[in-house]
Chain A
């Protein structure tokens, strides 16, 4: 464990869990890296007072105002109420804007291409402006993302930049390439949580956006649940204290990073997100941090060494890029490789690694199973969701197991014997798919 901290920044502790012992000739090193940030967020134990979040934080809410938001009309009404709840949750000092998203993006508040700083006065005006959220038109999410990026760009002083995208439908009035272009421009500029209301949107599409923008994706099947969800998202956003933190992975010469995945609180593959960071090192984005703990699964292939050798297989650091081009190391952990002829050591399975390997498999089984179901391959769907039930049961992931039970009848959870339920609701099926990547931590 190692941590480096300044009094005004959160403290990052890095713990590495692994079995460092490799059999002769073995090359693959797996480690779970737990990163815990404390002291910077809302509950870090420090009095908030002058250091309270606000200045430095910017929030843009993008509300889908396509025509379908009128069917049923509770969607639009609940979306307005949720936006008002978000405004009430944010403290004074936060820079803030509301955007109406259709096949174009329209500033609803403050409406002049910038962000407004919240105070008692602007707060009233913001809520008054919400009547301008009216359903009409189509859905072109790239325009929403572009608009949010431009609004944040107009406020270079903010460090925590977070958007919420609420939609109820598919991105059907533009091409996937348009969306990709907007995502490429926005990546690294701000983070975003995506919410799908109702069941007419596409999970994969929103996941693509939230992954690129390092946020969460979730379903709000019932519009009445929006206000509470928005409040929670705002509370999380204002708890963030450090943005643009990267996981830097150094590996020795001739080693290869097989993958880097966030493993908790949800599975997120970061492997393809690497940017080179000096000799034999690469940075993987982790977004912004408040008081929270996340686990990463790092898998490295190193050149084999003779029994008795010890190697540093990876040095994992949390780094924060400074405005002057330097980087600050917030915390660091070491992943080791030790070659041994003691079979008892080299065959031991690290419980953390095993657990998260299982959780990643669980998410994949659910995705596969639901995909097979959509394709009409009921046998495969049943087999894959059966495997998911077995994994969820074995790892104690009760949340996911509960969602699975709404889609399949579980005959034997331990064996993974299931039958597809008749008349599975679309909402249950989408909820399972959306939340399939949520993991639980290792039982202590």
Chain B
């Protein structure tokens, strides 16, 4: 046998006397171990290896699909999406990307969309919106657009792309949802210390500081939902509104039948380190209030965003995984010392007894862009 200089499994450098790889344990001599055998895909339901066209040829179960579980990490942002346990496909979609402003300063963007399940092809709607918004954001930031403006343009681009799906000639499926393809939307831009959030529907953004004792976690978005409208209009109190069966009915979405699209944006400058979360209701349904959700955000989320995103998805799956779950984690590390700035609402520890722990802080809400 020729002398091996690195492990065939993990590429760990080997010494001439090594019988096993010190890093992964692969046997370097003797009969092949299990590890060396080719991996034959098998059905997770029945174990059969007879698979074709995405179906098990024995028990008929659908085989895992690409979108069932997806993870992606680029510098400055990580995201994870999962089908969950109760839906047969993942109708959420996300995009993460780095962008460069004209001055060379880096920017990070993340987009999360949730297909509206009462519409046709919700999985296509979310994927289409994510692609359109991500492309639009990268281009706008590169062109030197102000993040608030870039956000409005991206929501407009996503809305046009989803609207176009309704007119792409795909025949309506008889006897099922034929509402135009639709999805909710949330995205974040982190550039030059400024965080900008844009959303439509009930996908949310949360600010989770590293030090949760001295700074309060916050929800940054206000749902376009029936319950939120009732509360905002002071027709019901929060408990009453959210107990109603209509509570989660959304009042805003992207798509051909979205009337009076009203994109919301908010920008703020965090002054303490933390992470920004953007997520679908598959996550926040299990920890609605920012302080509750913060409890499940790893303490090292800012340095290990992918691990933090995975942990949040696992948390939601363990709670029942009733919906698709998607979360993007953007580490925020202000390059200013806390002494250099005046405290803002987001940094100031609030007197807990008096504070509404789930208050939204619409700081510097940007003016709606003219479409």
Chain A residues numbered 330-353 whose CB sits less than 8 Å from any CB in chain B: 337-342, 344, 348-352
- Tell me if A310 and B174 are in contact (CB < 8 A): no
- Tell me if B62 and A309 are in contact (CB < 8 A): yes
A348 CB contact (under 8 Å) in B56, B89, B176: B176
A residues near B60, Cβ cutoff 8 Å: 251-253, 255, 302, 311-313, 337
* Cα-based distance from A77 to B56 in the complex (angstroms): 62
B84 CB contact (under 8 Å) in A19, A305, A308, A349: A308
Q: Mark B55-70, 1 if CB is under 8 A from A, else 0.
A: 1101111100000000
Closest to B46 in A: A253
A residues near B45, Cβ cutoff 8 Å: 305, 309
- Tell me if B55 and A312 are in contact (CB < 8 A): yes
B residues near A129, Cβ cutoff 8 Å: none
A351 CB contact (under 8 Å) in B61, B175, B322: B175
Size of the chain B interface, CB-CB below 8 angstroms: 23
Q: How far is the CB of B309 from chain A (nearest CB, A)?
A: 21
B86 CB contact (under 8 Å) in A19, A307, A350: A307
The answer to the question of A259 belonging to the interface, with a C-beta cut-off of 8 Å to chain B, is no
B residues near A303, Cβ cutoff 8 Å: 59
B residues near A338, Cβ cutoff 8 Å: 88
Q: How far is the CB of A356 from chain B (nearest CB, A)?
A: 13
- Tell me if B117 and A342 are in contact (CB < 8 A): yes
A253 CB contact (under 8 Å) in B59, B87, B88, B118: B59
- Can you name 5 A-B residue pairings with CB atoms under 8 Å? A252-B60, A308-B321, A310-B62, A337-B60, A352-B175
A19 CB contact (under 8 Å) in B56, B59, B85, B175: B175
- Tell me if B88 and A308 are in contact (CB < 8 A): yes
Chain B residues numbered 23-69 whose CB sits less than 8 Å from any CB in chain A: 45-46, 55-56, 58-62
A residues near B86, Cβ cutoff 8 Å: 307-308, 340-341
A residues near B87, Cβ cutoff 8 Å: 308, 340
- Known A-B contacts A309-B88, A311-B60, A339-B88; A351 and B174 likewise in contact (beta carbons under 8 Å): yes
* Cα-based distance from A311 to B54 in the complex (angstroms): 10
* Cα-based distance from A387 to B215 in the complex (angstroms): 73
- Known A-B contacts A19-B175, A352-B174; A310 and B56 likewise in contact (beta carbons under 8 Å): no
Q: Mark B298-337, 1 if CB is under 8 A from A, else 0.
A: 0000000000000000000000011000000000000000
Q: Mark A302-328, 1 if CB is under 8 A from B, else 0.
A: 110111111111000000000000000
A310 CB contact (under 8 Å) in B58, B61, B84: B61
Mostly, the B contact residues are: loop
Size of the chain A interface, CB-CB below 8 angstroms: 31
- Known A-B contacts A251-B60, A253-B58, A311-B62; A348 and B88 likewise in contact (beta carbons under 8 Å): no
B residues near A344, Cβ cutoff 8 Å: 118
The answer to the question of A17 belonging to the interface, with a C-beta cut-off of 8 Å to chain B, is yes
* Cα-based distance from A305 to B244 in the complex (angstroms): 31
- Tell me if B117 and A310 are in contact (CB < 8 A): no
* Cα-based distance from A419 to B67 in the complex (angstroms): 61
Q: How far is the CB of A33 from chain B (nearest CB, A)?
A: 14
- Tell me if A252 and B56 are in contact (CB < 8 A): yes
- Tell me if B46 and A308 are in contact (CB < 8 A): no
* Cα-based distance from A349 to B175 in the complex (angstroms): 8
Q: A308-B85, A351-B174 are in contact. List 17 more A-B contacts (CB 8 A).
A: A252-B59, A252-B60, A253-B46, A305-B45, A306-B85, A307-B86, A308-B83, A308-B86, A308-B88, A309-B88, A310-B61, A310-B89, A311-B60, A337-B60, A340-B87, A340-B88, A352-B175
Chain B residues numbered 1-19 whose CB sits less than 8 Å from any CB in chain A: none
Q: How far is the CB of B247 from chain A (nearest CB, A)?
A: 16
7 closest A-B pairs by beta carbon, nearest first, are A252-B60, A310-B62, A310-B88, A312-B60, A312-B55, A308-B86, A311-B60
Q: Mark A248-286, 1 if CB is under 8 A from B, else 0.
A: 000111110000000000000000000000001000000
- Known A-B contacts A309-B61, A311-B61; A19 and B88 likewise in contact (beta carbons under 8 Å): no
Closest to A349 in B: B175
* Cα-based distance from A251 to B117 in the complex (angstroms): 29
* Cα-based distance from A219 to B88 in the complex (angstroms): 51
* Cα-based distance from A321 to B144 in the complex (angstroms): 66
Q: How far is the CB of B245 from chain A (nearest CB, A)?
A: 12
- Tell me if B62 and A312 are in contact (CB < 8 A): yes
* Cα-based distance from A346 to B261 in the complex (angstroms): 31
Q: Mark B82-101, 1 if CB is under 8 A from A, else 0.
A: 01111111000000000000
Q: How far is the CB of B316 from chain A (nearest CB, A)?
A: 14
B residues near A253, Cβ cutoff 8 Å: 46, 58-60
A residues near B175, Cβ cutoff 8 Å: 17, 19, 348-352
- Known A-B contacts A338-B88, A342-B117; A252 and B58 likewise in contact (beta carbons under 8 Å): yes
A residues near B61, Cβ cutoff 8 Å: 252, 305, 309-312
Closest to A338 in B: B88
A residues near B85, Cβ cutoff 8 Å: 306-308
Q: Mark A350-369, 1 if CB is under 8 A from B, else 0.
A: 11100000000000000000
